[in-house]
Structure 1
Amino acid sequence: MGRMERKAGNFYVPAEPKWAFVIRIRGINGVNRKIPKVLQFLCLCRLFNGTFVKLNKASINMLRIVQPYIVWGYLNLKSVNKLIYKCDCGKISKKRIALTNNSLIALSLGKFGLICMEALIHEIYTIGKCFKEANNFL
């Protein structure tokens, strides 16, 4: 795509990513009260927790506030796939349950049309209409 644009004499600007993966890397002892609140809102309550965050103006401002305590970046589909398969846990009725088969995903997220691990990965990667529910499940 970029080559074709340059060949025609135009500029190609790739689209901005719509989501990021955020990991908490530092403790919060003796900091401003705002920092723990933002980390809690981002679901980063413990050290080395990670979560997917939909990027908009508000979430980018929150990431800037807690910048010294987190690292964040963009993942490709292969990395998302590896990460979700390695995590292999989901929240079912507020308990962390190991995802041994797709029936657990269908039981919890079937009402949103997510019935298997691949559908869950696709929903996260493409920021589908049930991104929030899929992210909360992980």
Structure 2
Amino acid sequence: MSDKYAVSNKLPAKQVNVMTHRKRRLREEQSHHRVKRLNRSFKLRSKKRDYKKPEYFITEFLKAERDAKRMRRVVMKNNFFQSVDDNEPKLLVVMRHRAHKIASKECSLILNSLGLSRLHNTVLLKNNSESLALLKLVEPYVVFGYPTIQTVRDLIFKHGFLRINGKRTAINSNKLIEEHLGQYGCICIEDIVHDLFTVSDNFKNVRSLLLPFSLKAPRDGWSKKIGVSYSRGGEYGNRKQEINALIERCL
């Protein structure tokens, strides 16, 4: 068949009008402005400011004064130094559940002495009158209660770290425990769990090497107001045996 009778397979070129070009250009401009705005907001958020507003200092002063008045009221009560019955558990688990920064220097010093310098830090303490007195002074910032042996075991196995030569070392072998705690009769992780839960004579030696447990916020969040005591339907304060359910949600 001759070329003049052949059917051309080429399709006609798609015609793009002026409006299509204009819409595409507007979309690109909008996308560019949106990215530019997001970048600018990110830079402003990450930029460190060298000044603080006067309202910041006023708020910090009011918070510190409020804590000072509360602590004076607690000390003046008759049951500040209360004795602990022999029937009560010997061990307490304490977690700092609120406030990255505390305005009151007294509260900060007490929390640091207990090993609760950071949010969600958790420690094991003896259940005696001295520990309870300190916890009353910083009660709005902590939750505590009586742990079970399973809770102590989970804390050691999942978040246990020792301070060895000034370094944070994970408890990953019984050989490590035997090298640094063998002189106290601890040769495995279960020995540490036993000494802590029973508050044995080696409790102080084991706890001196054990770093505070770094937990997270509860998986489903705080269901109640964290600024209200547990006895009044809030979160902070003594939960007794119910602290175990909270620690499980934070592991």
* Fold match by TM threshold 0.5: yes
1:88-107 mapped onto 2 (5 Å cutoff):
88-107=160-179
| CA deviation vs aligned residue, 1:4-31 (integer Å, no higher than 9, x gap) | xxxxxxxxx9811112000111226353
1:1-12 mapped onto 2 (5 Å cutoff):
none
C-alpha contact 1:24 1:44 (8 A) present in aligned 2: yes
SS in 1 for 2:136: helix
C-alpha contact 2:92 2:127 (8 A) present in aligned 1: yes
Q: Considering Cα pairs closer than 8 Å and 6+ residues apart, tell me whether 1 or 2 has the greater RCO.
A: 1
Alpha-carbon RMSD across the aligned residues, in angstroms, is 1.7
Stretches of structure 2 lacking an aligned partner (at least 5 in a row): 1-84, 211-251
| CA deviation vs aligned residue, 1:19-47 (integer Å, no higher than 9, x gap) | 20001112263532210111011111111
SS in 1 for 2:200: coil
Q: Counterparts of 1:107 and 1:46 in 2: how far apart (Å)?
A: 29
Aligned to 1:126: 198
Aligned to 1:29: 101
| 1:114 aligned onto 2:186 | yes
Of all paired residues, the percent bearing the same amino acid is 35
Q: Counterparts of 1:101 and 1:122 in 2: how far apart (Å)?
A: 17
1:3-82 mapped onto 2 (5 Å cutoff):
15-27=87-99, 29=101, 31-82=103-154
SS in 2 for 1:16: coil
Q: Counterparts of 1:95 and 1:125 in 2: how far apart (Å)?
A: 25
Stretches of structure 1 lacking an aligned partner (at least 5 in a row): 1-12
C-alpha contact 1:28 1:36 (8 A) present in aligned 2: no
- If you compute each CA radius of gyration, which structure gives the higher value, 1 or 2? 2
SS in 2 for 1:21: strand
Q: TM-score, normalised by structure 1?
A: 0.84
Matching residue's letter, 1:54: K
Q: Counterparts of 2:102 and 2:94 in 1: how far apart (Å)?
A: 22
Distance 1:55 1:88, change over 3 A: closer
Which has the larger strand fraction? Answer: 1
Q: Counterparts of 1:23 and 1:36 in 2: how far apart (Å)?
A: 14
| CA deviation vs aligned residue, 1:65-89 (integer Å, no higher than 9, x gap) | 1001111111111111111111132
Matching residue's letter, 1:92: I
C-alpha contact 1:26 1:70 (8 A) present in aligned 2: yes
Matching residue's letter, 2:135: L
Number of residue equivalences:
126
Q: Give, in angstroms, the shift of residue 58 of structure 1.
A: 1.4
Distance 1:28 1:98, change over 3 A: closer
